[in-house]
Structure 1
Amino acid sequence: MLPSVVLMSALAVGALGANTTYTYTFPAGFNIGLVKSDELSSWCQGQRNECPSICKGSTKQNTCEPSTLKFNCVCADGSVPDVSPYIQTVPFYVCEATYGQCIDAHPNDAEGQRACKAAATCGSKNASAEDTTMSSTTTAASTTLAMATSTSASQTTSSVAAASATTNAAALFGLEGYSTGLMAGAMFFAARLFL
């Protein structure tokens, strides 16, 4: 009989209204006794770090026991995600260790090692990168929108400034012409007084 990790989480009465159980079974050939305790602690730390990213936010429960590798990942909405497709989770580390233990059990046995490789289908998704990519995409879209708005406002300001400059120049030219006419009229009037 294979050892298994059974995760139980009592959910508040909600959409499901009952307890939800997530079961993770160690793959055939995995021997937890061959894994150093500090490595098991590291695996649990990875599991606890990834759970919030897999849940796309906060968690309701996020635990892992290094000595048994019993872990619990329950999202804030009460859902229990399948963490096995993700790297840096207990299933990922166990899968890699199972592959290594299998290879060690088949020294100088190319056929046996090929079978080990075929059986090792470890998770490959990176939940942290998915979060970062989504966050970066959102930030990039916000930055692009802000730049477009700024450019548009800048162009509008430039257009208003150009229009004002044109109007001011026309007004100045009109005053200049008017003042020249006044000056000429004043000089003509003064010349008539002397004559």
Structure 2
Amino acid sequence: MLPSMVLMSALAATAFGANTTYTYTFPAGFNIGLVKPDQLSSWCQGQRNECPSICNGSTTQNTCEDSTLKFNCICADGSVPDVSPYIETVPFYVCEETYGQCINAHPNDAEGQRACKAAATCGSKNASAEDTTMSATTSAASSTLAMATSTGSSQTSSSVAAASTTTNAAAALSGLEGYSTGFMAGAMFLAVRLFL
């Protein structure tokens, strides 16, 4: 091995720690040289932002190197999650870029572009939204449990608990995307009717 290659390997090991768990491999056809440096930096920022959500809030390693897109995401319990199913991670951005590069490499080639589309299976899960929905649902369940275990027969106490549950139900519903305002209003109306 050439001395300069040994030095680069040592620097890479230092940047990611001696016990690096980086195992992600770029898909065939991806050319990192076609991606602007500021875009690479943005992708790493997304990766670093999503890692804690994927790990349910706590990590021991959360790194990403802008120039190479090498990253580490290790949860506090020592597990190494598969980040590829999630949006705003390096595998997600690379997948989308690979698709774009593939389409550009096949101008006026419908068959080639169909192959590009078939190969592009990018992540679609949103770790941040899952965390928000999970905590709102847990909060709503806690309020319902508190109301159910209350032994008092006071109308005021029941109304306060019902209002609290309705507020938490609304928070849980607000984390869900793609539902119309009418559906949410109807669901809230039903929730209020159930607790009155």
**Alpha-carbon spacing, 1:94–1:148, altered in 2? closer, same or farther (3 Å):** same
TM-score norm. by structure 2 comes to 0.67
Query: Which residue pairs with 2:164 in the alignment?
Result: none
Query: Which residue pairs with 1:179 in the alignment?
Result: none
Report the Cα offset of residue 129 of structure 1.
1.2
* Alignment pair present for 1:29 and 2:29: yes
Residues 96-107 of structure 1: matches in 2 within 5 Å?
Answer: 96-107=96-107
Distance in 1 separating the partners of 2:134 and 2:117: 33
Distance in 2 separating the partners of 1:61 and 1:110: 43
Quick check: which one's strand share is greater? 1
Tell me if structure 1 keeps the 8 A contact 2:21–2:72. no
SS at match of 2:21: strand
**Alpha-carbon spacing, 1:144–1:29, altered in 2? closer, same or farther (3 Å):** same
Query: Which residue pairs with 2:154 in the alignment?
Result: 154
Query: Which residue pairs with 1:125 in the alignment?
Result: 125
**Alpha-carbon spacing, 1:89–1:52, altered in 2? closer, same or farther (3 Å):** same
Amino acid at match of 1:52: P
Distance in 1 separating the partners of 2:116 and 2:25: 18
Amino acid at match of 2:33: G
Distance in 1 separating the partners of 2:35 and 2:65: 14
* Alignment pair present for 1:62 and 2:62: yes
Report the Cα offset of residue 44 of structure 1.
0.5
Report the Cα offset of residue 22 of structure 1.
3.6
Distance in 2 separating the partners of 1:151 and 1:104: 68
Distance in 2 separating the partners of 1:92 and 1:30: 12
Residues 133-152 of structure 1: matches in 2 within 5 Å?
Answer: 133-148=133-148, 152=152
Counting matched residue pairs gives 146
Residue ranges of structure 1 left out of the alignment (5+ in a row) = 11-18, 159-195
Could you report, residue by residue, the CA deviation over 1:98-127 in whole angstroms, capped at 9, with x for unpaired residues? 000000111111100000000001111111
Query: Which residue pairs with 1:193 in the alignment?
Result: none
Residue identity over aligned pairs, in percent, reads: 86
Tell me if structure 2 keeps the 8 A contact 1:40–1:67. yes
Query: Which residue pairs with 1:49 in the alignment?
Result: 49
Distance in 2 separating the partners of 1:71 and 1:32: 15
Tell me if structure 1 keeps the 8 A contact 2:83–2:91. yes
Which entry has the higher C-alpha Rg, 1 or 2? 1
SS at match of 1:77: coil
**Alpha-carbon spacing, 1:85–1:156, altered in 2? closer, same or farther (3 Å):** closer
**Alpha-carbon spacing, 1:102–1:142, altered in 2? closer, same or farther (3 Å):** same
Distance in 2 separating the partners of 1:69 and 1:157: 55
Root-mean-square deviation over aligned CA pairs: 2.7
Distance in 2 separating the partners of 1:66 and 1:75: 21
Tell me if structure 2 keeps the 8 A contact 1:60–1:74. yes
Residue ranges of structure 2 left out of the alignment (5+ in a row) = 1-11, 159-196
* Alignment pair present for 1:82 and 2:95: no
Amino acid at match of 2:121: T
Amino acid at match of 1:77: D
